[in-house]
């Protein structure tokens, strides 16, 4: 019996009608069975099962680095195994990078590969500026993962994965120069895109994945930035996509943004562990994955917050992991009063400590002393009442042999200053729960 035939109902008196098949657009046999009354109402709306074999689900993950918050991406991978998509896509910034140290780079990629090796489905790599910043990193990518841009077709849908981090040609420099803040598609990549699209004109949809949301820069008043867009090759790619049903995904800016361009959806994802103030959906700042269901009418997309996905059995570890995800950047706020040229003994750091729980919490803060700047009190412990706020001031010690430090010296130094914090609270059902995190001291 074919599934695209009409319902076959077998009668036995007034009852016991067995539905043998009812799924539309399928051509294989089914074991779907349901009991219904022959003449009268039934307790369901219809039997048009939403399970076409041509439709499928995949997930898009986004920036892990650029202010990486350890533990977030790792938990995200565990939660993907709960969701069971058919495969996982990415939009880049997978490692911290920004170095030519091969030993360090291989260590970072080994760590990342370990995270995605735990997935029960395929993971597709796409490079970001943290992944390819120089020739050494590009060669290492080629050694470990092969191509920096590629495509595949799944269920008659084209997936086009691009590289926004190619070196920009310059006079006297045949290899070009890597610019971490810019974007560029080489003539070779543009040709590849055009040929790929021409070879797959009959697909029912096209998905494009790359790192930098070039289209957002068009909204800037910076004319130089707009000129970069013209020279980047992206307008040519958009022209190639004209008239084709397609959706474009990017990351990079760590803030969710949706745009409608060329009658198509352009999605800029927020973070999956990358640097973020986590101010919430209204500000586009949250940790998430994007769940995409491909249907006959096009993709249906849903943003899934990492702190809203649990397994079937709540345990103490689940509560700690959820608190970790939901309380990132909500435990500690730092207001630095550092001023270049101001006497060292007047420099102060103001810490605002939050307890959003309905229980008392103990918060311990460890400040990171460095070469030029350290803290008179680098270890702080305070107990905060439920749903309360506490403030502390800490004197900065500027170690330069004078009363001030240059702005350049400060800029180099402060990028390494973090406060590590630990929040501990007692829950009646789970006992003592501990959450760890870190907050950058100088923005």
Helix 102-117 / helix 72-83 crossing angle, nearest 10 deg: 30
Mean pLDDT computed over 412-429: 79
Q: Coil, strand, or helix at residue 390?
A: strand
Decide: 162 and 191 in contact? Cβ < 8 Å: no
Residue 344 has what pLDDT?
61
pLDDT class for 171, splitting at 50, 70, 90?
A: low
Residue 219 has what pLDDT?
83
Mean pLDDT computed over 281-292: 95
Q: Which long-range contacts (CB under 8 A, 24 or more apart) does 197-204 make?
A: 197/158, 197/160, 197/240, 197/241, 197/244, 200/151, 200/153, 200/158, 201/244, 202/156, 203/153, 203/156, 203/157, 203/158, 204/156, 204/157, 204/245
* Position 25 pLDDT exceeds 70: no
Structurally, what CATH architecture does the domain formed by 56-308 represent? 4-Layer Sandwich (3.60)
Residue 143 has what pLDDT?
97
C-alpha 367/C-alpha 363 separation (Å) is: 13
Residue 54: count other Cβ atoms within 10 Å of its Cβ.
13
Span 45-59, pLDDT tens digits: 888 888 888 899 999
pLDDT class for 418, splitting at 50, 70, 90?
A: confident
Decide: 170 and 176 in contact? Cβ < 8 Å: yes
Residue 13 has what pLDDT?
31
**Residues making up the chain, counted from first to last:** 443
DSSP 375: E
Q: Which of 263, 268, 234, 270 is nearest to 249 (CA)?
A: 268
Angle at 96 between CA 93 and CA 98, to 5 degrees: 100
Residue 414 has what pLDDT?
59
Residue 30 has what pLDDT?
62
Decide: 182 and 231 in contact? Cβ < 8 Å: no
Q: Please state, for a pLDDT cut of 90, what percent of the chain lies above it.
A: 54
**What does the block give as tokens for 16?**
């016991």
Residue ranges of the domains in the chain?
Answer: 1-51, 56-308, 330-440
**What does the block give as tokens for 127?**
């490079």
C-alpha 318/C-alpha 123 separation (Å) is: 25
Span 105-163, pLDDT tens digits: 999 999 999 999 999 999 999 999 999 999 999 999 999 999 999 999 999 999 999 99
**What does the block give as tokens for 183?**
């974007």
Q: Coil, strand, or helix at residue 14?
A: coil
Residues in contact with 370: Cβ distance below 8 Å, sequence separation at least 6, in sequence order:
413, 416, 417
C-alpha 56/C-alpha 49 separation (Å) is: 14
Span 332-366, pLDDT tens digits: 988 766 665 666 667 788 899 999 999 999 999 99
Looking at per-residue pLDDT, the higher value among 62 and 324 belongs to: 62
* Position 22 pLDDT exceeds 50: no
Span 83-98, pLDDT tens digits: 999 999 999 999 999 9
Helix 223-232 / helix 234-241 crossing angle, nearest 10 deg: 60
- Choose the weakest-confidence range: 104-113, 204-213, 433-442: 433-442
Q: Is 400 exposed, middle or buried (0-12, 13-18, 19+ CB in 10 A)?
A: middle
* Position 4 pLDDT exceeds 50: no
Residue 261 has what pLDDT?
93
How far apart, in Å, are the Cα atoms of 258 and each of 161, 251, 288, 300, 330? Answer: 19, 11, 15, 14, 26
Which residue bears the tokens 């971490």? Answer: 180
**What does the block give as tokens for 232?**
């980047």
Span 259-279, pLDDT tens digits: 999 899 999 999 999 988 888
Q: Is 69 exposed, middle or buried (0-12, 13-18, 19+ CB in 10 A)?
A: buried
Residue 36 has what pLDDT?
82
Mean pLDDT computed over 287-308: 95
Mean pLDDT computed over 384-401: 84
pLDDT class for 164, splitting at 50, 70, 90?
A: very high
Residue 408 has what pLDDT?
59
Mean pLDDT computed over 208-230: 86
C-alpha 434/C-alpha 425 separation (Å) is: 7
pLDDT class for 28, splitting at 50, 70, 90?
A: very low
How far apart, in Å, are the Cα atoms of 259 and each of 69, 265, 294? Answer: 28, 6, 19
Q: Which of 207, 188, 211 is nearest to 197 (CA)?
A: 207
Mean pLDDT computed over 318-340: 79
DSSP 53: T
Residue 7 has what pLDDT?
32
* Position 191 pLDDT exceeds 80: yes
Q: Which string of DSSP letters, residue by residue, matches 160-229?
A: EE--SBPPEEETTEEEEE--TT--B--HHHHHHHHHHHHHTTT-SEEEEE-S--HHHHTTSS-HHHHHHH
**What does the block give as tokens for 173?**
């420099």
pLDDT, averaged across the chain:
85
Residue 342 has what pLDDT?
65
Mean pLDDT computed over 317-340: 79
**What does the block give as tokens for 124?**
């597709």
Which option is the CATH number for 330-440: 2.60.40.10, 3.40.50.261, 1.10.760.10, 2.20.28.10? 2.60.40.10
Residue 360 has what pLDDT?
94
Residue 396 has what pLDDT?
81
Span 239-263, pLDDT tens digits: 999 999 999 999 999 999 999 998 9
Residue 413 has what pLDDT?
61
- Residues 396, 401, 407, 413, CA torsion sign: negative
């Amino acid at each position: 019996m074919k599934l695209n035939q009409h319902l076959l109902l077998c009668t036995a008196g007034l009852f016991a009608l067995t539905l043998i098949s009812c799924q539309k657009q399928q051509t294989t046999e089914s074991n779907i069975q349901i009991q219904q009354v022959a003449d009268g109402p039934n307790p369901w709306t219809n039997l048009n099962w939403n399970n076409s074999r041509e439709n499928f689900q995949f997930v898009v993950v986004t920036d892990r680095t650029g202010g990486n918050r350890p533990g977030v991406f790792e938990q995200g991978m565990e939660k993907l195994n709960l969701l069971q998509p058919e495969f996982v896509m990415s939009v880049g910034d997978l490692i911290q990078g920004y170095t030519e140290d091969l030993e360090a780079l291989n260590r970072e990629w080994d760590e990342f590969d370990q995270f995605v090796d735990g997935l029960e489905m395929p993971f597709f790599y796409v490079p970001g500026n943290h992944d390819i910043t120089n020739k050494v990193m590009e060669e290492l990518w080629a050694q470990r993962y092969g191509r920096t841009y590629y495509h595949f077709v799944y269920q008659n849908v084209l997936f086009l994965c691009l590289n926004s981090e190619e070196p920009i040609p310059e006079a006297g420099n045949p290899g070009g120069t890597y610019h971490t803040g810019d974007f560029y598609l080489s003539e070779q990549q543009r040709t590849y895109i055009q040929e790929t699209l021409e070879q797959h004109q009959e697909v029912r949809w096209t998905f494009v994945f790359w790192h930098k949301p070039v289209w957002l820069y068009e909204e800037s008043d910076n004319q130089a930035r707009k000129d970069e867009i013209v020279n980047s090759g992206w307008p040519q790619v958009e022209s190639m996509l004209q008239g084709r049903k397609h959706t474009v995904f990017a990351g990079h800016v760590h803030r969710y943004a949706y745009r409608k361009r060329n009658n198509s959806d352009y999605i800029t994802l927020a973070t999956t562990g990358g640097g973020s103030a986590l101010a919430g959906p209204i500000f586009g700042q949250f940790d998430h994955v994007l769940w995409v269901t491909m249907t006959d009418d096009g993709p249906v997309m849903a943003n899934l917050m990492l702190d809203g996905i649990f397994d079937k059995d709540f345990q103490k570890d689940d509560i700690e992991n959820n608190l970790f995800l939901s309380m990132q950047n909500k435990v500690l706020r730092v207001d630095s009063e550092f001023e270049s040229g101001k006497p060292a003994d007047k420099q102060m750091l103001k810490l605002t400590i939050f307890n959003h729980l309905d229980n008392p919490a103990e918060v311990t803060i460890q400040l990171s002393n460095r070469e030029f700047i350290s803290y008179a009190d680098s270890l702080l412990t305070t107990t905060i009442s439920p749903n309360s706020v506490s403030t502390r001031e800490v004197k900065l010690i500027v170690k330069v042999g004078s009363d001030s430090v240059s702005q350049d010296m400060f800029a180099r130094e402060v990028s390494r200053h973090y406060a590590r914090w630990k929040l501990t609270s007692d829950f009646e059902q789970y006992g003592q729960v501990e959450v760890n995190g870190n907050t950058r001291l100088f923005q």
